[in-house]
Structure 1
């Protein structure tokens, strides 16, 4: 790329301040820990712990470790939420130093400020409600630090899950009426992208952390964990579909041509994010097409040693790789500011019937590919079983 192209790519792009990078990354880490862990516990861990093949001793070990993780996820969410709120204050209006924005008094003034002209609700009020819900979610999770509360892990996780989801949904409420349908879709797809991404990344981190307790589990724990991985694989496929579907819309809105991916700063950052996400998908494909069929095979022939090795040692190693890539994605997100279209001087994206038709075709293709992923994985498992016998 020439110096002229680099200068053109830098035009219109503003590198975020260090505090903005740290607070936004931290906020998404907090959301990933809270939403990802509670959703994964509800959809994958708790049902497996209550399954017929789960020994009560193993279930208790995993439940205790899950409770500890959830408690710390609540603490991280609380701290990250406060710093994110201060960062919003620092960027509001004429702005102020981030250190000054950390003062509780300044934050209170910001949250209680009246609505601006043309707004149906004050922006501070939206953030006030959002952070009140965040506080409730964090307290519900942090209650699990108390030994007595851990007897009610399931109930507290179920209580925290809708609250953590509400945190990001409330924060997206517009203070003025959207100008057109495209603005509404921007909000909807933005939230689909966030929720799908944090459940995917946060769920992987949660399960990888739980798997480190394998030394305290019995010899039959492989069956329990194979059930956990099977359930989460379905959750992850839904998340992948959500992230890719919403990502298609958001990419079209912000990138006017494929060449803008390497001729604009926004495009380069987005390209890096895409590569990292594809790396996560590739690692997930290894689990889905290679490990899951072998886990199913070992379970069907009652090979407990192989099942334990695959489910508790081999599978988590791949998952830790996905977690590392996911953490890198969260680190890239704060740098996705502005738009490649504006940097390149392209016209703003405007939806039309043809755009929706192409989008619908791509989404249907994605759904079909995810469906074939599940069917192919099942077929590989069935094909491997007779050979083992």
Structure 2
């Protein structure tokens, strides 16, 4: 490809300013902490701590570490939410310098702008409600810094969880009625992509942090962590399916042909994201097809030492690799600006009954493949280890 062609291709792409890169990546990082950590605690950690495999001492250690992680997630959400709101103001209308948009009085004026003609609600009102929910979420999580509040960890998590989901869901409410069904699907699948992605990455981060307490856990903690990883693998599998299904729709809306992945700037950025997500899925495959069966066999044969090594040393190393890939994905997201279709001069995407049917078939195929993955992992776990009768 010639330099002239590259210049022509990039002509339709606008590089986001540094403040936009940092605020958007930071905002999604904060959502990972708030949504991912609360959902994972509620669906994975709390149920595991209530099983016979959990000793009171181990449960106390993990609950303290979880409370500290969630409290810091609240602080990050509070800061990231403010900068994200300032970034929205800086991009609104004719725009303004980001440093000017940080002024509280300017933000307050932005939130009180009347509704535009034809809108059923003012956009500023949507953001006002969203940030009120964000403040409630952050406040609930930050309360866990107080020892007295930590005694009510479960109640605070179950309070913060729906609020954290509301932070992103409220922001997606359109100020004007969607013009067609495609727009409704865009909004729904966009939120599916965000929520499932933040649960996946935020859950990995929480469990990696909790695994760091291994020196303070008892000799039987491998049993507890075998259950934790088993529970989270099911959550992660659902998230992977949702990310892939919604990602296919979003990619089709913005990329008109496979060739646009390497002939447009948007396409190249998307290709990098796809490769990073593929790395995440591959690491998950290692967990599902290799580590989980070995953990199940060690648990079945009462190999306590092997179980501890697999669940609290080997597994977390793979998880930290996934976290690094996830952070790279968040760093790439702000660069997905515009559309490969627009850069290439392709027509906008329009769905048809045939296309929607093909999409439904793909989703069904994906669901079947994930089910087959779970069954295969279970079958591998039932196989005897090499050298055993």
Which TM-score band applies after superposition, normalised by the shorter structure? over 0.9
Contact 1:283 / 1:318 at 8 angstroms: preserved in 2?
yes
Question: Take 1:42 and 1:61, find their aligned partners in 2: how far apart are those partners?
Answer: 17
Q: Determine whether 1:6 maps to 2:6.
A: yes
Structure 2 unaligned spans of 5+:
none
Pair 1:388–1:143, CA change in 2 (3 A) = farther
Question: Take 2:326 and 2:387, find their aligned partners in 1: how far apart are those partners?
Answer: 36
Question: Take 1:79 and 1:388, find their aligned partners in 2: how far apart are those partners?
Answer: 55
Question: Take 2:68 and 2:388, find their aligned partners in 1: how far apart are those partners?
Answer: 39
Name the counterpart of 2:293.
Answer: 293
Name the counterpart of 2:270.
Answer: 270
Report the Cα offset of residue 4 of structure 1: 3.1
Q: Can you list the C-alpha shifts for 1:254-277, whole angstroms capped at 9, x where unaligned?
A: 000000000000000000000000
Give the TM-score of the pair, scaled to structure 1.
0.99
Name the counterpart of 2:350.
Answer: 350
Contact 1:294 / 1:384 at 8 angstroms: preserved in 2?
no
Report the Cα offset of residue 337 of structure 1: 0.8
Contact 1:121 / 1:175 at 8 angstroms: preserved in 2?
yes
Contact 1:296 / 1:381 at 8 angstroms: preserved in 2?
yes
Question: Take 1:31 and 1:388, find their aligned partners in 2: how far apart are those partners?
Answer: 46
Q: Can you list the C-alpha shifts for 1:299-355, whole angstroms capped at 9, x where unaligned?
A: 011110000000000000000000000000000000001100000000110000111
Name the counterpart of 2:34.
Answer: 34
- SS of 1:223's equivalent? helix
Question: Take 1:47 and 1:5, find their aligned partners in 2: how far apart are those partners?
Answer: 56
Name the counterpart of 1:302.
Answer: 302
Structure 1 unaligned spans of 5+:
none
Name the counterpart of 2:99.
Answer: 99
Q: Can you list the C-alpha shifts for 1:27-60, whole angstroms capped at 9, x where unaligned?
A: 0000001100000000000000011111110011
Report the Cα offset of residue 365 of structure 1: 1.3
Q: Can you list the C-alpha shifts for 1:242-293, whole angstroms capped at 9, x where unaligned?
A: 1001001001110000000000000000000000000000001001000000
Report the Cα offset of residue 155 of structure 1: 0.6
Question: Take 1:365 and 1:7, find their aligned partners in 2: how far apart are those partners?
Answer: 40
Q: How does 1:11-30 map to 2 (within 5 A)?
A: 11-30=11-30
Report the Cα offset of residue 166 of structure 1: 0.4
Name the counterpart of 2:318.
Answer: 318
Report the Cα offset of residue 8 of structure 1: 2.9
Name the counterpart of 2:363.
Answer: 363
Q: Once superposed, what is the RMSD of the aligned Cα atoms? A: 0.9
Question: Take 2:384 and 2:17, find their aligned partners in 1: how far apart are those partners?
Answer: 53
Q: Determine whether 1:169 maps to 2:185.
A: no
Report the Cα offset of residue 364 of structure 1: 1.3
Name the counterpart of 1:199.
Answer: 199
Name the counterpart of 2:284.
Answer: 284
Contact 1:293 / 1:384 at 8 angstroms: preserved in 2?
no
Give the TM-score of the pair, scaled to structure 2.
0.99
- SS of 1:321's equivalent? helix
Name the counterpart of 1:116.
Answer: 116
Q: Determine whether 1:221 maps to 2:221.
A: yes
Question: Take 2:9 and 2:300, find their aligned partners in 1: how far apart are those partners?
Answer: 56
Greater shift after overlay, 353-362 or 181-190?
Answer: 353-362
Question: Take 1:282 and 1:338, find their aligned partners in 2: how far apart are those partners?
Answer: 29
Question: Take 2:313 and 2:158, find their aligned partners in 1: how far apart are those partners?
Answer: 29
Question: Take 1:212 and 1:25, find their aligned partners in 2: how far apart are those partners?
Answer: 25
Name the counterpart of 2:69.
Answer: 69
Name the counterpart of 1:187.
Answer: 187
